Amino acid sequence: MNALPILAQSVLFNTVSPDDLPHLISCLKPKEATYPKDYTIIEEGDVLDELGVVLSGSIHLVRHDFWGNRTLVAQLGVGDIFAETVACTAEKSLVSVVTCEKTVVLFLSVQRIITTCRSECVFHHAIIENMVRLLAQKNLGLMKKMNHITKRNTREKLLSFLSEQAWKTGSKAFTIPFDRQQLADYLCVDRSAMSSELGKMKSEGLIEFTKNTFELKQSML
């Protein structure tokens, strides 16, 4: 498929002029792959030297422990980049990458990205800068998630998460990208316990919700 419009929007290439982009991409050993729904692209423990760009569909970064508890680390969509950490560090992946639907991915060589090539690629140093920003943003994302899950109880985790969503959309009413089980996995709590906590919060007038659409009823920190 035509990856260029999507790549042009991604954090990694949004400063590169559309004219230069095809040449630049061709430098990075691009490989496209299409996966069905619920396909595991990367397994925990895998080692690789390419990062992935989601061209269509969506993916989850998840971890599983020995008792089957699942932790949802992040959900990524079109234009988002994954596996950059494991590719940069050459260490084993701590997460699995699983498709949520039929998904097309473009893989690019990290070695080629961070190693400046000869003068032909005048724009090359631009994407290295972007690579730095990308990693810093990922970092920030992890810290934000940490802000939620380090809360001491379920209600605080929920309020922390919902507040962030409201903040992100700039409105007290918003739709979250998770179903209940996914939200529970994301916040590291039991689904049913979370569900009943949501019920309590609704009956106390703190929040309102139907399906994935929530509304915060009071100012909360």
Partner DNA sequence: TAAGTTATGTTGTTTTTACAACAAAAGGGT
Partner DNA sequence: ACCCTTTTGTTGTAAAAACAACATAACTTA
Judged by the rule CB under 8 A, the positions of this chain that interact with a second copy are 63, 65-66, 69, 71, 73, 84-85, 88-89, 91, 94-95, 114-116, 125, 128-129, 131-133, 135-140, 142-147, 149-152, 188, 221
CB of 53 to DNA, least distance (A): 26
Closest approach, Cβ 215 to DNA, in A, equals 13
Contacted by 95, from a second copy, DNA, none: CB < 5 to 8 Å by type? a second copy
* Closer CB to a second copy, 143 or 210, in the complex: 143
Write out the two tokens for 157. Answer: 């985790």
Residues binding DNA (CB under 7 A): 67, 69, 152-155, 179-181, 188-199, 209, 211-212
Report the distance separating Cα 57 and Cα 194, nearest Å: 28
Q: Which is nearer to DNA, 46 or 215 (CB)?
A: 215
Neighbours of 174 (CB within 10 A): 17
Are 24 and 124 contacting, i.e. CB atoms less than 8 angstroms apart? yes
Q: Which long-range contacts (CB under 8 A, 24 or more apart) does 140-148 make?
A: 141/74, 145/73, 145/74, 145/186, 148/186, 148/187
Closest approach of a second copy to the CB of residue 18, in Å: 22
In our burial notation (b when 16+ CB lie closer than 10 A, e otherwise), range 54-72 reads: bbbbbbbbbeeeeeeebeb
Angle of CA points 145, 146, 152, to nearest 5°: 115
Q: Choose the one of DNA, a second copy, none that binds residue 94, judging by a C-beta under 5 to 8 angstroms depending on kind.
A: a second copy
Minimum CB distance to DNA smaller for 26 or for 203: 203
Which CB sits closer to a second copy, 89 or 192?
89
Residue number, 119 or 203, with CB nearest to DNA = 203
Q: How far is the CB of 89 from a second copy (least distance, A)?
A: 5
Q: How far is the CB of 197 from a second copy (least distance, A)?
A: 16
Residue 146 binding result from DNA, a second copy, none, given CB thresholds of 5 to 8 Å by partner type: a second copy
80 three-state secondary structure: coil
Buried b (16+ CB within 10 A) or exposed e, 185-221: bbbbbeeeebeebbeebeeeebbebeeeebebeeeee
